[in-house]
Amino acid sequence: MKKLQLLLLEDLEEEALELSSFLEDNDYEVSLAKNAVEAEKLIRNRFFDVIILDIMINGRPDGISLAHRLNKEGINVPFLFLTSMQGREIFDEAKLTNPLVYLLKPYNKLELLFSLELAIESCYQQNNSISLASNNGVISPSFLFIKKKRSVVKVDVAAINYVEVKEKYCSIICDSGNYLIKLSLTKLKDMLSNPDFRQVHRNYLVNVKKIKEIYFEDNLIVLDNDEKILFSERYKTAFIKDNTIFR
């Protein structure tokens, strides 16, 4: 599991430290910027999952200006405003940047966590996203964002060992932990659209890069961590056909 990368633009040191400490306690890795120049430099040199922008930085609406520049350059990172500015004029100007959320200080901690989660989901709200009951997940080409209790965890797709169907859920098995999302195995496979993941049984999808050994006669796959996965005749035939080394 990787921590969600968050950039916080906040010029007031005490508020920045208090907020970053709270976010770090909720599984975010926070980078601080005290002005728009620092924030823009970080954005150009690092990947962030979500950005929190204060509007007034050193007495100027630099948070809004930065948001406009990000939009103009097509930098597609979900962002939200967290500000003490309550005037309609500022709100209308901020709205033109298409923020995913506009929150007022003093912030409610639970509302902020929910807003960050919604911002991430909304950014990936395409045909490859899901949001169901208490087990939420958003799928991007490289990562899964999965709701777990009160936080969102970021799971590297390449770190997945295998996926197992459990009734109406898929259990995603990684060395770092297991995660549940409410989705069929077939649908998850289509969403991942990754050739490294092969269905080897009606209940299993395996990351072929995690395979250590295959026992074709015993219908068994052994992974790098020595876990054993069933290999059904139906999917074994297709697997051999698609991999000339086994013919």
* CA distance readout (Å), 83 to 2, 64, 103, 155: 28, 11, 6, 30
Can 4-126 and 151-246 be said to share one CATH topology? no
Contact (Cβ atoms closer than 8 angstroms) between residue 4 and residue 28? yes
pTM of the entire structure? 0.60
Over residues 43-75, the pLDDT tens digits come to: 988 888 899 999 999 999 999 999 999 988 888
Residue of 6 and 45 predicted with greater confidence: 6
Query: What letters, b where the CB count within 10 A reaches 16 and e where it falls short, cover 140-159?
Result: beebbbbbbeebbbbbebeb
Residue range 121-147: mean pLDDT, rounded: 57
**Residues 42 and 33: beta-carbon distance below 8 Å:** yes
With respect to CATH, is domain 4-126 assigned 3.40.50.800? no
Q: Where are the domains of the chain?
A: 4-126, 151-246
Predicted confidence band at 4 (pLDDT cuts at 50, 70, 90)?
Answer: confident
Q: What is the third-level CATH fold of 151-246?
A: OB fold (Dihydrolipoamide Acetyltransferase, E2P) (2.40.50)
CA pseudo-torsion sign 114, 115, 121, 122: positive
Tens digits of residue pLDDT in 69-118: 998 888 888 899 999 999 999 999 999 999 989 999 999 999 999 899 88
Q: What is the pLDDT of residues 172-187, one digit of tens each?
A: 999 888 888 877 888 8
